[in-house]
């Protein structure tokens, strides 16, 4: 009975050694840090060349989704080969291009650079909190996945609708929901690595990267709405 209680307290046993779990977590954090470099370069190139406009409007959304899912499919197909990391870094550069439209818009404010740094700091803070929680929570969180996935679908549908409606209030609501959902996804994804449920560091990095990007752009959108100062 005591052994069963201990098992339930600690969550699922995926049969992965502690050493392997720590190695996956360490490699994931390193690759996650490296992946931010192409993202920054992509955002800079997008702003400098005006490429962010490619992802504006309904057609831009379709283009983004098609390319994003294409990259994600490619990453999953190559995650166990030497091409996995370059494919992931190419995707992060693409995501930087996608972010450039929002960044360019925020840079139009007098305090634009401050807003970007605040969003970056806020995202880092959220990640630190979720990573810390993942190390102290003992129960299994795998049941969160289905509910979070439903939330993402709702966000996606709401985002598409808001493209046509163009509501600032709608954007605010979607951004706040996005921060909540992807913050929870950070907790879930890190906990999966710690518990041994995810053993491929490229897949783990992709998941955490998407969480971080979504929290960052949602925070930046909210800061632009509430704190943007016109000249």
Whether 89 has a pLDDT exceeding 70, the answer reads: yes
pTM, two decimal places:
0.89
Q: What is the pLDDT of residues 103-153, one digit of tens each?
A: 999 998 989 899 999 999 999 999 999 999 999 988 888 888 889 999 999
The total number of residues shown for the chain amounts to 231
Number of domains in the chain: 1
The C-alpha atoms of residue 145 and residue 143 are separated, in whole angstroms, by 5
Nearest alpha-carbon partner for 184 in 220, 151, 218, 225: 151
Q: Which residue range forms the structural domain that includes residue 102?
A: 16-227
In a domain, residue 3? The reply is no
Residue 66 burial by Cβ neighbours in a 10 Å radius (0-12, 13-18, 19+): exposed
Q: What is the pLDDT of residue 143?
A: 83
Q: Kindly state whether residue 6 falls inside one of the protein's structural domains.
A: no
Domain annotation covers residue 76: yes
C-alpha to C-alpha distances, 175 to 75, 158, 185, nearest whole angstrom: 27, 11, 15
Is 2 part of a structural domain of the chain?
no
Residue 161 has pLDDT above 90, yes or no: no
d(CA 1, CA 117): 52
pLDDT above 70 for 12: no
**Is residue 11, in this structure, part of any structural domain at all?**
no
Q: Considering the domain boundaries, does residue 186 fall inside one?
A: yes
């Amino acid at each position: 009975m005591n052994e069963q209680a201990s098992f339930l307290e600690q969550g699922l046993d995926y049969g992965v050694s502690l050493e392997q779990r720590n190695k996956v977590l360490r490699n994931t954090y390193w690759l996650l840090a490296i992946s931010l470099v192409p993202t920054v370069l992509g955002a800079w190139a997008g702003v400098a060349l005006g490429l962010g406009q490619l992802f504006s409007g309904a057609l831009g959304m379709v283009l983004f989704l098609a390319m994003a899912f294409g990259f994600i499919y490619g990453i999953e197909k190559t995650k166990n080969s030497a091409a996995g990391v370059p494919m992931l870094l190419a995707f992060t550069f693409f995501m930087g291009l996608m972010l450039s439209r929002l960044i360019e818009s925020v840079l139009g404010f007098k305090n634009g650079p401050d807003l970007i740094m605040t969003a970056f700091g806020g995202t880092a803070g959220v990640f630190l909190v979720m990573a810390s929680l993942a190390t102290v929570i003992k129960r299994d969180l795998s049941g969160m996945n289905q509910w979070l996935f439903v939330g993402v679908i709702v966000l996606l549908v709401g985002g598409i609708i808001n493209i046509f409606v163009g509501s600032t209030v709608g954007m605010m609501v979607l951004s706040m929901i996005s921060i909540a959902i992807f913050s929870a996804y950070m907790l879930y994804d890190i906990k999966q690595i710690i518990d041994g449920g995810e053993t491929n560091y490229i897949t783990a990095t992709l998941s955490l990267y998407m969480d971080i990007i979504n929290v960052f752009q949602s925070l930046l959108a909210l800061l632009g709405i509430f704190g943007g100062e016109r000249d």
